[in-house]
A and B are shown apart, each in its own frame.
Chain A
Amino acid sequence: MTRETLLNIVLFAILPTTALVAFALDEPFIITLATKAAILALAGVGLNIALGLGGLVSFGHAAFFGLGGYAMGILASHAQSYTPLMETPFLIEGTKSMLVIWGVAIVASALAALAIGALSLRTTGVYFIMITLAFGQMLYYFAISWPAYGGEDGLSIYVRNDFPGLNTLDPIQFFAIAFGILAIVLFGAGRLAKARFGLALSAARQNAERVETVGLTPFRLRLVAFVISGAVTGLAGALFADLNRFVSPTMFSWHTSGEIMVFVILGGVGRLFGPVAGAALYILLEHTLGGLSEFWHVYLGLLLLLVVLFARGGLIGTIAGREVAHD
């Protein structure tokens, strides 16, 4: 067993252990924090598919995070007020079912990623970073100024949505849902990285010309990666909205894109468990530093700077060393 595998097991165990200990000590807020970490890690896992595997530095993943959130907000608010979403040409009702909401969030953000990716992937480098940022900003301003769903005020959902057989308002049960999804997606992302697609995608990041020469199209690989990445981040957005029972345009802001990127880089780019480590560390810092000083952003900034300058490869890279080749 390599050091990284060992570390991954530890990282994987951290969140449920924290949640269970908190449950035993009757500290429901700690469970909520662990849930938040799991959901943000999920968003990071999504970004990492584009960023780590595909080398696509997207500065606009807030777009998908927000779309997922609004999928939840819009569907649940219609169910809450018993007004249909649409009557013509056919009737669409709102819903409080998490499973349906997740499906809609995934499809909506995948479609958005398809459109944004198809346009953005024509550019490379800094231009790609900036064009994805521009798409995120577009959705941000749209969400703020579109009055139908609360605009800047956002949408409040009074009760968490339903999941068959569970009481979602109970922190530990909602944690189980969020962590369960994270576990499934981590497993899927791990398989994806080692599957045919992952091999080709990662090769396209390392050397696009090589991939073309063996007859594969980097653009297609990247577009598919971008869509999968967007869909996973969208799913995280829907869960995040359910955690807060609230959505607002903040989910679309470029700070959100930056934060998701911070999770990935803090943990280690391209490492399967990087976003888990990054998100957990971020939440921990926010919680402890935030309690120490009003100006905790200064410390957070300093710490980030130190990680970038001196701890290359993020947390996992620093502890586990250089990545060993697969198999």
Chain B
Amino acid sequence: MKLRTLIAAASIAALGAGMAYADGSKVKVGMITTLSGGGAGLGIDVRDGFVLAAKGNDNLELVIEDDQRKPDIAVQLTDKLIQSEKVDVLTGIIWSNLAMAVVPAATAQGKFYLSPNAGPSALAGKGCSPLYFNVAWQNDAFYEAGGMWASDNGIEKVFLMAPNYPAGTDGMNGFKRTFKGEVVGEVYTKLGQTDYAAEIAQIRASDADTVYFFLPGGMGISFMKQFAGSGVEKNVMGPAFSFDQGILGAIGDAALGVKNTSHWSKDIDNAANKKFVADFQAEYGRLPSLYAAQGYDTALLLQSAMGKADVKDAAAFQAALEEADFASVRGDFAFAPNHHPIQDIYMREVIKEGDVVTNKIIGVASSDHQDVYGADCKM
């Protein structure tokens, strides 16, 4: 009797998510994400996207924990979820440095980990694991695509800027890997720096035609506002992180015209994305961000695998995940052998729609983009 109810519930949920489940294998998911302190907005979006996609699926039990963006807390929560809550799958980490702490801890204890945001190079190369799947991107993807687009669109001289920490230097190296023009200036700023007057003066003094930067969160907001006020007339490019929906509101008109690379945008034309954007706005009353899209896709991927295999059978479940048989809001999505995405990276431009500052796709920067670290990955 009970089993029947479960199956019935599962099929309703399956209808809701637009796909069918072969059986009702239950999965307990532990989500560790940043819900308090600095950067909580990103974690909240991932959580909301995931919850939206998993809504109504009674086979999916979700336990959510807040890592406060502290690596040590994240590792302890990993232990807690695995040892106490006995979860089957972990997900949710936003930051590369936390992922570097959590992912090895999870996979070493035989649990699946689906990354809804971070993709440090070590985990794509030497440190890859059969149990680790990245549903978002390898960290370099947006930068490499940015370099390609810049080379293809007549940009000759760029000025690079990023915070002086691994994600920053890796990003700039990713851009340099594919960019064919000249790098006329390169500055690494203090992490958490809020005043960029000195760097803007250097940019003004350089003969670059384009500024390419990666400054996540508040750093990017500060830079863009100050750059717009400085009167320096140069093109601005960057990865999507500094121009995401949550951040654009705080930058305002200063961001208009900026080009940024992303694997997702709310105007990607496919049925899954239209449904996602509409459902998200209906549910939460705000525009979704790329983090929300990633959380959403992560839940879709997980549910597609749940329909094909039992999570207790790790090999079968891994194979089911590898198929990536779900309708991604990004359109075509597949996994490379190192379990990182093969996907299109778009170039977006910041525009104004009525009163709302938002992004619009202006072209594909790199189609079927794949990371370069897979060669080092031996599973």
Contact = CB atoms under 8 A, between A and B. Distances in A.
Whether A associates with B in a native complex is yes
Contact of A248 (B83, B97, B188): B97
A156 B100 contact: yes
Given A159-B108, A248-B71, A150 B164 contact: no
Interface in A6-30: 27-30
B172 to A, nearest CB: 12
A240 interface: yes
Interface residues of B, number: 29
A32 B76 contact: yes
A150 B166 contact: yes
B36 A244 contact: no
- Chain B binding surface, main DSSP class: helix
B165 A250 contact: no
Contacts of B75: 244-246
Interface in B44-76: 66, 70-72, 75-76
Contact of A153 (B83, B120, B164, B188): B120
B230 to A, nearest CB: 26
Nearest to B97: A153
Given A29-B79, A29-B84, A144 B165 contact: yes
Interface stretch (A108-116, A225-233, A290-298): A290-298
B44 to A, nearest CB: 9
B101 interface: yes
Contacts of B108: 158-159
Contact of B66 (A36, A144, A156, A294): A294
A27 B84 CA distance: 6
B84 A244 contact: no
Nearest to B99: A153
A94 interface: no
A162 interface: no
Contacts, number: 91
A152 B167 contact: yes
Interface in A86-110: none
Contacts of A144: 164-165, 191
Contact of A147 (B35, B84, B166, B191): B166
Contact of A244 (B35, B72, B96, B165): B72
Contacts of A141: 190
B36 A294 contact: yes
B178 to A, nearest CB: 22
Contacts of B165: 144-145, 151-153
Given A240-B72, A246-B71, A246-B72, A154 B100 contact: yes
A46 interface: no
Contact of A246 (B35, B101, B191): B101
Nearest to A295: B36
Contact of B101 (A33, A36, A156): A156
A36 B76 contact: yes
Contacts of A296: 36
B76 A153 contact: no
A171 B82 CA distance: 13
Given A30-B84, A250-B72, A245 B36 contact: no
5 contacts: A151-B165, A153-B166, A153-B167, A156-B104, A246-B100
Given A152-B166, A156-B101, A246-B105, 6 more contacts: A29-B83, A147-B169, A150-B100, A153-B97, A153-B100, A244-B72
Please provide the 4 A-B residue pairs with the shortest distance between their CB atoms, ordered closest to farther: A152-B165, A29-B84, A28-B83, A246-B101
